[in-house]
Amino acid sequence: QVQLVETGGGSVQAGESLRLSCTASGYTFSGYCMGWFRQPPGKEREGVVTVHSDGSFTYADSVKGRFTISRDNAKNTLYLQMNSLKPEDTAMYYCAALRDNYCSVPMNNRVNFWGQGTQVTVAS
């Protein structure tokens, strides 16, 4: 069965960094757009950044210049390097797989597979 397992969340101070990882199994990882979504406390889940199967990226304005997504198809693993973290980055972060044609505008209802989430908390 399909599994997406995130690791790397935690609690940090503003300005610090974290790296999230997501290891996938049970489907053809290289053939999907992969992305990170997040859900702040009391808010809707939103797409943050995606990487198309061809390697192209889409970033939300709120994280441009601070977050970097990457994928290693040989390891079926997705990464998110988060630098210069801000308190407003506090959220549950979810790994997601979706079809390439939905990659540039990632929406919750277009996601095929979800991870269980990992909490990121940024203190001011």
Q: How far is CA 35 from the centre of its chain?
A: 5
Give pLDDT tens digits for 15-56.
Answer: 999 999 999 999 999 999 999 999 999 999 999 999 999 999
- The per-residue pLDDT for 92 is 98
Contact 32, 52 (CB under 8 A): no
123 in helix, strand or coil? strand
Distance separating the N- and C-terminal Cα atoms of the chain: 40
Distance CA 103, CA 69 (A): 13
Note the pLDDT tens digit of each residue in 57-108.
999 999 999 999 999 999 999 999 999 999 999 999 999 999 999 999 999 9
pLDDT at 121: 98
